[in-house]
Amino acid sequence: AMNRVQLLGRVGQDPIMRQVEGKNPVTIFSLATNEMWRTGDGEVNQGALFPLCDLGDISQKTTWHRISVFRPGLRDVTYQYVRKGARIYVEGKIDYGEYTDKNNVRRQATTIIAGKI
């Protein structure tokens, strides 16, 4: 079994460090990845990267990822040095969690648990 994610993108905001009672602190930030494809002749070539000089219109989709860093050394370095707008590489695993929001509604939360940045 394998659960491995590799992302290359831009940091959405300066990381925050959150302390949950009785647990180790966690550094959290968002990462944006861009997907570009060419639309021409009525077809969409999703996920493929095309040189901008190609014919047709270029479409772009931005996906936001929530990154959590638990590993003590990496957590602290990320909090100190990673800044909004930085282009970084993140390697980790996907975690599908649930939480209860302030209106007491159960919500899904997909998080990337970073092992390498």
Tokens of 102: 């302030």
Q: What is the pLDDT of residue 18?
A: 94
Q: Which residues pair with 58 in a beta bridge?
A: 38
For the chain, domains (ranges, CATH) are 5-35+59-116 (2.40.50.140)
- Supply the pTM of this predicted model: 0.76
Tell me the C-alpha to C-alpha distance, in Å, between residue 108 and each of 4, 70, 96: 20, 20, 7
pLDDT digits (tens, 9 = 90+) for 60-101: 899 999 999 999 999 999 999 999 999 999 999 999 988 888
Of 19, 27, 47, 35, give the one whose Cα is nearest residue 117.
Answer: 27
Question: CA-to-CA distance for 110 and 113, rounded, in angstroms?
Answer: 10
- Please state, rounded to an integer, the average pLDDT across all residues of the chain: 88
Cβ-based neighbours of 52, under 8 Å, separated by 6 or more:
58
